[in-house]
Amino acid sequence: MSVESKSDEERREETLIHHKPRTFSDKVALYFVKFLRVFADAFFAKRYGHRAVVLETVAAVPGMVGGAMLHLKSLRKLRDDEGWIHTLLDEAENERMHLMTFIEIAKPTRFERFLVIVTQMIFYVSYLLLYLISAKTAHRVVGYLEEEAVVSYSQYADRVKSGDVENVDAPQVALDYWDLPHDAKLLDVIRVIRADEMTHREVNHLIADKISEHPLGVKTHADMSDDAQAKLRDYEQRDFPI
């Protein structure tokens, strides 16, 4: 194994961070997400582009629900939100841009479009209810969903690297949004998106930890932009309005 591939391997291992469940509700969140993963794997198999399109329509929901819930709580309790509303709305916007990017790369089938509509109805209502019952569990679920997203994007990157999936030019929407060089490719896009997912993973696990009053801190990664790493460090210091 060459030095370069070894460091590549180490770098990859660092992306696949798992936050171990510590409470009963953490375990419920983890097994729920693992259960969902079985369905996603069975349905999409190795069609990573299609998988990304459909799952990003789901991923963009929790930030908007959490942001709205905190907004209402801030109004209700006449209390500052410590900046978390924007953090969660930014997450929702970022996930929607993942969708806008992948829709240029993989066109969903008619059945997938139908699936997106049904899934949104079910997921939006269920996530809202879960957030009302236990915001901590809701954020933990997202933390684990993001762990799975990092795994899936790593597998997608592997398929592009091996030549199984063509490394097409990055769509214009991605060049503009992530300020990528004009000759950027699909692999570059997968890498920045995976770094976004790592950020969401850390943010949501951190919020769940803060609600349970045992914050463990965040783990940054070299793939994350300096800005993303600075934001994560800032989130560690902020109180979460419980």
| Cβ proximity to Fe ion, 85 vs 195, nearer residue | 195
Residue number, 69 or 151, with CB nearest to Fe ion: 151
51 or 200: CB nearest Fe ion: 200
Give whole-number Cα distances, 154 to 18, 20, 117, 138, in Å.
14, 20, 27, 25
- What Rg value do the Cα atoms of the chain yield, rounded? 18
CB of 131 to Fe ion, least distance (A): 17
Backbone phi, psi, residue 105, to 5° = -100, -40
In angstroms, give the least distance from the CB of 202 to Fe ion. Answer: 11
Distance of closest approach, residue 139 Cβ to Fe ion, in angstroms = 13
List interacting residues with Fe ion (CB under 5 A): 56, 59, 95, 98, 146, 149, 197, 200
Between 98 and 210, name the residue whose CB sits nearer to Fe ion: 98
Q: How far is CA 225 from the centre of its chain?
A: 16
Question: What is the DSSP annotation of 55-109?
Answer: HHHHHTHHHHHHHHHHHHHHHHHT---TTHHHHHHHHHHHHHHHHHHHTTT-PPP
The dihedral through the CA atoms of 85, 90, 96, 102 has a sign that is negative
Gap between the Cα atoms of 10 and 87, Å rounded? 30
26 or 148: CB nearest Fe ion: 148
Q: How far is the CB of 93 from Fe ion (least distance, A)?
A: 11
Residue nearest to Fe ion (CB): 98
Smallest gap from residue 28 Cβ to Fe ion (A): 20
Query: Nearest distance from residue 3's CB to Fe ion, in Å?
Result: 32
Taking the least distance from each CB to Fe ion, the nearer of 106 and 241 is: 106
Q: Both tokens of residue 15?
A: 């992306």
